[in-house]
Structure 1
């Protein structure tokens, strides 16, 4: 394309000046619109992003995963968001299949290959990993061995010594038990139920009971495991041979109103800077060197079959709660 002639420069300058005036005396505003499913984590990430990109105004909508994904899908014909992120792996795949995302590979990405979508539609930024909080004093009092694997938990010696979150009320419980069904089958869950003292309403309930010595073993998620131990409780953190987990990430909305700014934000999310923020509040980050959990020390379980949580909860209630 030819360069503008000398005569055209005043006209270009006039247009630029008019745009400057219309923008209130400031450079034309840049913005990015983000849908997210974790308000507190989003706030921390946006704060760090703004320090690096003060010229980009970040607007965001926060909510739970289901409504956020449904909104993005409903708006697909005329997208209002540029990025959807901090949603779980099930929602990421749902958004991909619905055509909400378009492929984008962040520049200079530090994210491990295992956390990248094979087709490039999204990246996962962290994993919440599931573990056991084991009360060593309770084990000694009862003469029980330290469990090493999840399979150990169905041993008769642990009868009524285990607590875990109910999958009917807790995403943590759902992640743990759907993994058990995927890896070991429903018979394992039925046998495990014989040893369950209580299904808690929340994800940290099992850890609380184990920390208090009311049961020997509580199943929960990583940050609660570490918090329980840091509180001085006589507990050991045990990861089984496989690690149930929930991953969360995000992607570029196809046809979003601010694609250039959206890509800058996604570049940031794939960086060490974002991982440093996440590492303070999550178990395992997709960028090595951050977070509470060393991914080299565990084996994240990759689900072999898709999970229909509504059907799973119905079957759990029928098979387990009626025992």
Structure 2
């Protein structure tokens, strides 16, 4: 191995940009290993890893919803790794290792819900949404923003969650009604929180932690968890099969899962619940104790064929409709 290759790791990161950057900078500062890292949605990264399968350019993929990670694992494109510190991790993180033959670790968890701009709602004389049923009321027409399931793992989590909750045909009828009230489908699920905070849209549907960051920064943002129940994610972390810089990728992986790496998220405003239970979590991280969580079937909805089938159906039956 040449000396130049010893000093580098190529990573793809799908969590919030500031966390991606902070982790890379801190890892380089403490190890001297240079991190070449791009930030993209999980759907985009999954497609990139498939496209590069014959000649992998990525060593490590981390952050972002776990379903696309499980789909790439199923296609045999990730390397198994069961860390020595597995007992330092919460059960929900350990289950991801077990489910994927140790190809995917659980990196953090967070729940789906609504974030809304209280000033915009007040100005438009609209009530704060509390339930999935509220979002399809005609008065919210053009007031709701969601991400696009083809590129965003967040949107796929929303759809898969609704299918599990309502039954598939009922969920698609619901999504058609929601489509009428949706102003934009963004590429990434990280767009909703800033857009709501700045008043560009009244209501966003995404992971709750993103909205909380803006609330703590004194923007007129509030959140609610759907009264009927909601889906959630377990963010992923994985080594890419055929990684050129595997030794460094393992070092970066271990750093990201350590208390030092896991606590960086909250320091830059990413308020997911970290997988490592040995660190004291930031008090601003939203608790899911009062949230009605569905029993999310990661095994079934983490399959590539199921993801493709649901997204194809959504494109055919929902996206194609006029608004």
Does the alignment pair 1:163 with 2:144? yes
1:298 to 291, 295, 299: 291
Counterpart Cα distance in 1 of 2:90 and 2:163: 27
- Measure, in 2, the Cα distance between the counterparts of 1:262 and 1:207: 32
Deviation at 1:275, TM superposition (A): 1.0
> CA offsets, 1:210-234, max 9 Å, x none?
874985x443443552354345455
For residue 153 of structure 1, report the CA deviation from its aligned partner: 3.4
Does the aligned pair in 1 maintain the 2:82–2:97 contact within 8 Å?
no
Offset from partner CA, 1:31-71 (integer Å, 9 cap, x none): 453330446533321222234434xx234252634564455
Corresponding residue number in structure 1 for 2:243: 256
Point out where structure 2 has 5 or more consecutive residues left out of the alignment: none
Determine whether 1:49 maps to 2:27.
yes
For residues 315 and 73 of structure 1, what CA distance do their matches in structure 2 show? Answer: 27
The answer on 1:60 being equivalent to 2:48 is: no
Q: Determine the structure 1 residue equivalent to 2:226.
A: 240
Cross-structure match for 1:180? 162
CA drift at 1:96: 1.1
How high is the TM-score relative to the length of structure 1? 0.69
Q: C-alpha distance in 2, partners of 1:105/1:253?
A: 14
The question of whether the paired residues in 1 share the 8 Å contact of 2:19 and 2:265 is answered with yes
- Pair 1:117–1:214, CA change in 2 (3 A): closer
Instruction: Identify if the C-alpha distance between structure 1 residues 101 and 168 changes in structure 2 by more than 3 Å, giving closer, same or farther.
Output: closer
2:108 equivalent to 1:126: yes
Q: Output aligned runs, 1:215-234, within 5 Å.
A: 215=202, 217-230=203-216, 232-234=218-220
CA distance in 1, matches of 2:193, 2:20: 27
For 1:199 and 1:63, the matched residues in 2 are separated by 22
Q: TM-score, normalised by structure 2?
A: 0.69
Aligned residue number for residue 97 of structure 2: 117
Question: For residues 151 and 66 of structure 1, do their structure 2 counterparts lie closer, same or farther at Cα, with a shift above 3 Å needed?
Answer: closer
RMSD: 4.1
Q: Secondary structure at the match of 1:104?
A: coil
SS of the counterpart of 2:255?
A: helix
Q: What is the deviation of 1:294?
A: 2.6
Larger Rg: 1
Counterparts of 1:169 and 1:199, CA distance in 2: 14
Aligned length: 292
Alpha carbons of structure 1 residues 52 and 205: separation in structure 2 relative to 1, 3 Å: closer
Deviation at 1:293, TM superposition (A): 2.7
* 2:315 aligned partner: 313
Counterpart secondary structure, 2:36: strand
Q: Which residue of 2 aligns with 1:282?
A: 270
- Does residue 33 in structure 1 map to residue 22 in structure 2? no
Secondary structure class of the residue paired with 2:63: strand
Distance, in Å, in 2 between the alignment partners of 1:47 and 1:235 is 30
